[in-house]
Amino acid sequence: MEIITTIQHEELIENCKRGDTAAYTELYHLYAKEVYNTIYRLVGHTAEAEDILQDSFVAAFQAIHGFEHTGGFRAWVKRIATNKSIDVLRKRKLRFVELETETMQYKEEEVLDEKEFSFKVEEVKKAIDQLPEHYRIIVHLHLFENIPQVEIAKMLGIANNTVRIQFHRAKQKILTMIKEGGVR
């Protein structure tokens, strides 16, 4: 990604607010790859990710007049893309199961000690990719997008406890895959 100064970045935003199509194009090229990667990790399909990418930037540029520089354009457009990705997943009827009855089992499940593993980044990434979709999405949002679990629960429309349990179970699945050599 091209490195631009804060002043150049603010000028690009102001030019977008004035309708400068070259500024739109430049902002798109600065962030499209990073935003696409975020979307793809969530939805897992190239064509869908490309559509969401376009929709996200269109939405961002349509709302650019309300954009404040406080959080940065990158974070803002990634949040738009994340929300649009979650909408697509909901339309797929991906269900994040409420685990009221499973809460008791949670305490009884075997808990693997993370300290006994030496991790290789690629192995962990592959293990995350192999998780069931509902676990993978929560792991991605929490670890890669740094979204707090409470906010993930709101975004997905599920209980905070469900996010916490599913995140814990996802970590345990990753550790088990690595421990048993089940990472492909």
Q: Which CATH number fits domain 103-179: 2.40.50.140, 3.30.70.260, 1.10.1740.10, 1.10.10.10?
A: 1.10.10.10
Q: What is the pLDDT along the chain (184 residues), one digit of tens a residue?
A: 456 777 788 898 999 999 999 999 999 999 999 999 999 989 988 999 999 999 999 999 999 998 886 668 888 999 999 999 988 888 776 555 555 444 444 444 455 555 555 567 778 888 888 898 889 999 999 988 888 999 988 888 888 999 999 999 999 998 888 888 777 7
| Residue type for position 128 | I
Question: What is the CATH T-level fold of the domain 6-91, as seen in this structure?
Answer: Rna Polymerase Sigma Factor; Chain: A (1.10.1740)
Contact 131, 174 (CB under 8 A): yes
Residue 15, classified by CB atoms within 10 Å of its CB into exposed (0-12), middle (13-18) or buried (19+), is: middle
- Give me the residue spans of the domains in the chain: 6-91, 103-179
